[in-house]
Structure 1
Amino acid sequence: MIFKMLFRFIMLTLLSLLGLKASLAQVTNGDFEQVNENNKAIGWNFSNSDSANNFLAISKESPYAGNYSLKMVKKQERAMLIANTTVHIETDKTAKLRVKAMVKSSAEKIISNFYMQLFDGQKKRIGGEDGVIDLDPAKKGQWQEVDFSLMISPEVKRGVLFISLGNHDLEIDNITSEWVTGPADKQITAFAEEVVKLLKTNSIVKDSVNWEEVNKNLPAALVGTQYGKDDAFIVNYLLSYLRKEKDIHSFYYSPFSYKNLKSYAGKQGQGPRKTVYPTGKLLEDNVAYVVVPAFSSYNAEGIQEYADSLNAIIMNLQSKNPKGWIVDLSMNHGGNMYPMIAGLNALIPEGKVMSFVRKDGESSVYLKGGTFGNVKLTKVPKKEKDKKIAVFTSTRTASSGEMTSIALLNNPLAKSFGIQTAGLNSANATFPLSNGGAIALASALVKDPKNRVYLGPIEPTEKAHAKSFDDLIRDAKAWILEDK
C-alpha cells in the first residue's frame, strides 16, 4: 500500500517537472489482495443491513486471480447490500473512463449495478453515472468481463465506486479502470446526431439545455465507441444533460428491452415475460382492498388482460357491497397507465382524467363508459358514487403509478395515505430509434381537472404516522368507517 502511494507521488512529481499534466484513474485495491489483520479488504467499505440472511465479504473460495475476490449473496431482497471504494482521478481534459471487472454468478440474470459518484477538489459532489452489470446467460457460473463507461471532466479529482446487488449472488475480482482512446465509427456518430435531434425537438427541458456544451463535449464522449456496442452509453450520456435540468424521468430502452416491451406479457408460462396481476380481497369490517401492481407493456393483448383482470376484481368486490375501498399503489413503480386507470373505472369519475401540457398547447385524456385511451373494458362496471377510497402511496409509487393516483384523487371521496411519491410524474412519450431501441422521453407536464400541474413528488392527503403496514390499514379503515 505504502509502495503504491509512493510510486503515485513520484510519477506525478516527474510529470509536473516535465511540464505534463497527469492523467490518472486508479481503483483502490481493485483486486482485493490487500487485506488487514481482521481479514478486511483495505480501502473498501461494506454495507450489509441484514447480515443474518445476506453475505458480503472477501473470499478465498474461487478468486479469478490472486488469493481473494469479493463475494456477495442476497437472500433478503429488501435489505441493502453495497460495497464501495475510492478511485483517484486526475485529467486535464474531458475524457471517457471505462471501469472493468471480472464477475461470476450462479444465476443467469441478476439485479446489480456499478455506480460512481464524482467529487471536485473541495470534496463537493459534482455528478455520477451508473452501469448495469449485465451477465451473459451462456456463461452462468463462469468468470466473465463486464464494464461501464462515464465522462470525466477536469474538475473531478476523486470518484467513489459502488457495487450493489439486488438478488441472487455475485463474485467480483480484478476491478480496473482505463482511459478510452481511439476513433468512433461513422454509424455511432450518426446515431448520436439522431438522438441529439430527437432530444432538442421533444424534450420537456429542451430550452434549458446548453446545446453548445453538448456539441462541444460529444466528440470526447464518442471516442472509442462502436455502433451496437456503445449505443446505451451514448444515449445515457446525452440524457445526462436532461437530468441536469431536473428531468429524471427520461430513459433508454435497449433493442432487446424495447422488443420485449412490445411482446405479449401474459400470465406465468403464457408469454416471454411474467406479468404480476392485480389482486383484491375483502378485509374485516367489510372494506375492499385492491393491489394495483406496475405493468410495463405496449402489447395489446397483455394490456387488455391486465385491464379486464383489475376490473373483474373490482366488480366482484362490488357485489359484496363494501363500506369503502383501499387501493394500494405503494409498490407500483409505473409502466403503462392506461390499463391501470381503465381497470379502476368504477372508482374514477367520468370525463376528463388529466391533461398533458406542452409549450405548444395541451391535450387531454377522458374516461367514457368503459373506455380510457385505447383501452376498452370487456364489461363496463357500475360507478361507486358514495364510498370513500383510500389510496396508498410511497416513494416507490412512480410514473404511471403516480398517474393512477392522480386519476383516483379526481374522485371527491378519495384521499391518499402514506408518504410522498417518487416524483416521476411527467408524461413520457416513447420514440423508436434507428438501432431498434427507443427513448421514453419526458415531453409534457401533467395537469388534473382542477388545473393543478404536477412537478416533483406528490404529498399524500393524510401523511402516515403508522409504524407498520398493519397500522396504515387500520388508519385507512378508521377514516373509511368514521361516518358509517
Structure 2
Amino acid sequence: MKKLGLSVLLLAATPAARAQTTAPLPDSVQTFLDKSLTLLQTYSLERNTVNWPQLRQAVYQKAQGARTVRELLPLYPYLFEQLKDDHGWLTYQDKTYKWRNPARVPYANAVVKAELAKKPGIRVRLLPRGVGYILLPGNSAGGSLAQMQAAAQVVQDSLCRLPVAKVRAWIIDLRLNDGGAMAPMLAGLAPLIGEGHLGGFVDKDGKPDEQWYLRRQNFYLDSLKVTNLTERFAARPHQPVAVLLSGRTASSGEIVAISLRGRPLTRFFGEPTYGATTANQSYPISGGAYLTIAGLLETDRNGVVYKSSLVPDELITGGDDFTELAKDAKVVAAQKWLRTSPNRRK
C-alpha cells in the first residue's frame, strides 16, 4: 500500500562510510547511491536489523566500475533483499527495480490471474434475496486530492447504480484488488463500512503513526480530509457484509479488508491475502527517480497488527467464476451465510 503523503521530505545526501580500497564513482552516481542508502537507513521498517557500515561497504564494492546511474540499478534488488522489503522498489525512467522474494509461493489460482489480466473495472449487481454485490479491483489513482476525489466518486457512483432501497446485505469482492490508493476505495464504500476509526499505521515497535477514519462518508488521514463526497444514501453499518479475498488481494486491497475487520456482522471468505501489509512512502532521489520504501505496519480498528496475510474466516480454495456468480464457490458460501445472518435490515 502506498502510504498517502501530500508532501515528501527532500533529504540531502549524506556521505557514506566507504571501503578505503574502492575507487571514486562519478559525482552523479555517488550522490544517487549515497541518497538511496540514507533514505533506506532512515525509513525502512527493518533498518535496525542491518549492519549499515558493512552494508555500505558491500554496496560500494558492488558499485565499482559504474559510470552512470543506470549501471547502479542491478544493486537495488540486493539492497531491498538485505532489508527484507519485497513491497518497496526503485523507479527509474518509468521502470521499477525490486526484490522478488523467493519465499513467496507462486500463486496457482489460474482463474483469478486470468481475470486480473483483463484489467477489470468496478462491477455491481443485485443478487437474489436482496444481496448487493460490488467487485472492487485495484486502482491507479494519483496522489493529488483531486485525483483521490475523482476515484472515490467512481466507487460511490457504482454503488448508486444499485437499487439500494432493496438491498438487505452486501458482498464486497476484493479478490481482484491488488492495490492502489486506499482513500478512494474506503470513501466510496463508506455507506457500507460505517463511521469512525478504521485502522492506522504503527512502527516496528507498535508506536502509532497516522490513523485513518471515515467521517460523514469521507476519508480522513488523522485530521486531513482527503475526499469530499456528498452523502447520496444513508449509511448502512448494521447490514451484514461478506468480504471475498484471494491470494492476489494485496497492498491497499488488504487495507480495505483490514478496515472491515472488527465491523459487526462481517465475515471473510476465500483465500489468504498476498501479505503486503506494510505502508509504503515514496521519496525522490534525482531526475525523476524515487525510492518507495516499506516503513510502517498496519493495524485494524481494534489495534491488531498485520505482519503478513489476512486469513479468511472460511477458507475456500478455487471455485471462482466471475462470469456466472451463481456458480462461484465463494459467492455461494457468502450468500449462504448472509441468508442466516440475524440482521438483514435497512
**TM-score bracket relative to the smaller structure:** 0.7 to 0.9
Residue 93 of structure 1 is matched in structure 2 by: none
Task: Provide Cα deviations, 1:15-60, integer angstroms capped at 9, x if missing partner.
Answer: xxxxxxxxxxxxxxxxxxxxxxxxxxxxxxxxxxxxxxxxxxxxxx
Residue 395 of structure 1 is matched in structure 2 by: 247
Residue 314 of structure 2 is matched in structure 1 by: 462
Pick one of 41, 46, 64 that aligns with 1:205.
46
Residue 217 of structure 2 is matched in structure 1 by: 370
Residue 352 of structure 1 is matched in structure 2 by: 197
**Distance of 2:153 and 2:26 partners within structure 1:** 48
Counterpart code for 1:279: R
| Structure 2 CA distance for partners of 1:253 and 1:315, relative to 1, 3 Å | same
Counterpart code for 2:183: Y
**Distance of 1:344 and 1:337 partners within structure 2:** 11
Q: CA deviation at 1:187?
A: 1.4
SS class of match (2:47): coil
1:290 counterpart = 2:134: yes
Matches within 5 A, 1:269-288: 277-288=121-132
**Mapped contact 2:179–2:250 kept (Cα < 8 A):** yes
Residue 335 of structure 2 is matched in structure 1 by: 477
Task: Provide Cα deviations, 1:329-385, integer angstroms capped at 9, x if missing partner.
Answer: 111111211111111111112111112112564331211113213432432242113
Residue 7 of structure 1 is matched in structure 2 by: none
Pick one of 270, 283, 286 that aligns with 1:431.
283
| Structure 2 CA distance for partners of 1:232 and 1:303, relative to 1, 3 Å | farther
Q: CA deviation at 1:257?
A: 5.8
Higher strand residue share: 1
SS class of match (1:356): strand
**Mapped contact 2:191–2:217 kept (Cα < 8 A):** no
Stretch moving more, 199-208 or 430-439: 430-439
**Mapped contact 1:307–1:342 kept (Cα < 8 A):** yes
Stretch moving more, 299-308 or 467-476: 299-308
1:307 counterpart = 2:165: no
**Distance of 1:473 and 1:276 partners within structure 2:** 18
Question: Which consecutive unaligned segments of at least 5 residues does structure 1 have?
Answer: 1-181, 259-273
Q: CA deviation at 1:308?
A: 0.7
**Mapped contact 2:259–2:301 kept (Cα < 8 A):** no
Residue 193 of structure 1 is matched in structure 2 by: 34
| Structure 2 CA distance for partners of 1:225 and 1:349, relative to 1, 3 Å | same
Question: Which consecutive unaligned segments of at least 5 residues does structure 2 have?
Answer: 1-22, 97-117, 322-327
Q: CA deviation at 1:318?
A: 5.2
1:229 counterpart = 2:70: yes
SS class of match (2:338): helix
Q: CA deviation at 1:253?
A: 2.2
SS class of match (1:363): strand
| Structure 2 CA distance for partners of 1:410 and 1:252, relative to 1, 3 Å | farther
Task: Provide Cα deviations, 1:140-185, integer angstroms capped at 9, x if missing partner.
Answer: xxxxxxxxxxxxxxxxxxxxxxxxxxxxxxxxxxxxxxxxxx9743
| Structure 2 CA distance for partners of 1:275 and 1:183, relative to 1, 3 Å | farther
What percentage of residue pairs aligned between the two structures are identical?
A: 28
Q: CA deviation at 1:460?
A: 0.6
SS class of match (1:312): helix
Pick one of 156, 167, 188 that aligns with 1:343.
188
1:252 counterpart = 2:82: no
Higher helix residue share: 2
Q: Relative contact order (alpha carbons < 8 A, sep ≥ 6): 1 or 2 greater?
A: 2
**Distance of 1:191 and 1:309 partners within structure 2:** 39
Counterpart code for 1:324: A
TM-score normalised to structure 2 length: 0.76
| Structure 2 CA distance for partners of 1:281 and 1:377, relative to 1, 3 Å | farther
Q: CA deviation at 1:396?
A: 0.3
Counterpart code for 2:215: K
| Structure 2 CA distance for partners of 1:184 and 1:411, relative to 1, 3 Å | same
**Distance of 1:465 and 1:249 partners within structure 2:** 25
| Structure 2 CA distance for partners of 1:468 and 1:334, relative to 1, 3 Å | closer
Pick one of 263, 273, 282 that aligns with 1:411.
263
TM-score normalised to structure 1 length: 0.55
**Mapped contact 1:352–1:449 kept (Cα < 8 A):** yes
Task: Provide Cα deviations, 1:273-295, integer angstroms capped at 9, x if missing partner.
Answer: x9854221112333111111111
